[in-house]
Amino acid sequence: MPATESFVRRVRTQLDGLSTAERRLADFVLAFPGELASYAASELARLAGVSNATVTRLIQRLGYASYEDARRHAREERQSGSPLFQASTGKEKSARLVATHLQQSQLNLARTFEQLPDETVKQMVAALLAAPQVLVFGSRSSHAFAVYLRWQIIQVLPRVTAIPGAGESLGEYLADLSARDCVVVFGVRRQTRQMRQLLDGASQAGAKIIFISDQSSPDYPAATWSIQCKCAGPGPLDNHVAVMALCDMLATLVIEGAGPAGRKRLAAIELAHEALDEL
């Protein structure tokens, strides 16, 4: 079995040759692959309704030297952030659903903001206000944060772009990037390779970089400011409350700090809304 094969792919390639009991175990593992990382072999056997011997046979079929070897592989893939590996059978979940999610959100907010000094926030806001152009990037789930931040601060800053647009490339933006510009990159897991290409290009151009990621994602040491939000979730998805709160704080402070020029632009936008009867 190739070492680069994912855990799930290993299971899927063996399905046709499995016995009834092994197939029952394989179906369970495919539905909840993260459980392999969480439980001992006997616990997994009990959850799937099979014998310990069945677990051993399947693990051998998958090409692992031992159950711990397979468990280690599953744990590595779980840490990658795939929602498939975060799913749980629900046996250990709290009955207090709303309270559980609220407590996790509050904890993420507190742990994110307590590591964020006022001076750092002021520096980031000053960089955004002074930049001739602001580029905001985020792919996959991070795209929503990029669009939201751009939507808010464009009310007072005229040259804010969420990149890349449909049919566009990063090169079209990196070509004109200068040391005076500011690039905001959202890198919460799981990201595309395009993010690293943008970070490297912005760093080479000398632009100021605000890198917003999470505690499970690699940091980017060359960033001017790097913030790792706490995004642990009580379920299969990451909890992004802290990321949105950070966006709201940055946008609010940028709007407040934009001064007369910002208020003039904001007033002109409101007049245009009224003239066009847009809202």
Beta-bridge mates of residue 182: 134, 208
Name the nearest CA neighbour of 208 among 133, 112, 113.
133
First to last CA, the chain: 59
For 244, residues 6+ apart whose C-beta sits below 8 A from its C-beta are: 145, 148
Residue 156: phi and psi, rounded to 5, are -125, -15
Q: What is the pTM of this model?
A: 0.71
pLDDT of the residue at 92? 47
Domain spans in the chain, listed from the N-terminal domain onward: 7-86, 106-276
| CATH of the domain spanning 7-86 | 1.10.10.10
Residue 165: strand, helix, or coil: coil
Predicted confidence (pLDDT) per residue in 113-163, tens digit: 998 999 999 999 999 999 999 999 999 989 999 999 999 999 999 999 999
Predicted confidence (pLDDT) per residue in 205-218, tens digit: 999 999 999 877 88
Predicted confidence (pLDDT) per residue in 51-65, tens digit: 999 999 999 999 999
Residue 278: strand, helix, or coil: coil
Tokens 């566009």: give the residue: 168
Query: Which of 65-69, 88-92, 130-134 bottoms out in mean pLDDT, i.e. has the lowest?
Result: 88-92
Structure tokens at 159: 């040259």
Question: Taking a C-beta distance cutoff of 8 angstroms, is the pair 61, 55 a contact?
Answer: no
Distances (CA, A) of 79 to 23, 57, 73, 204, 228: 26, 26, 10, 30, 16
Fold of 106-276: Rossmann fold (3.40.50)
Q: What angle do CA 146, 150, 151 make, to 5 degrees?
A: 115
Q: Sign of the C-alpha dihedral, residues 143, 86, 223, 111? A: positive
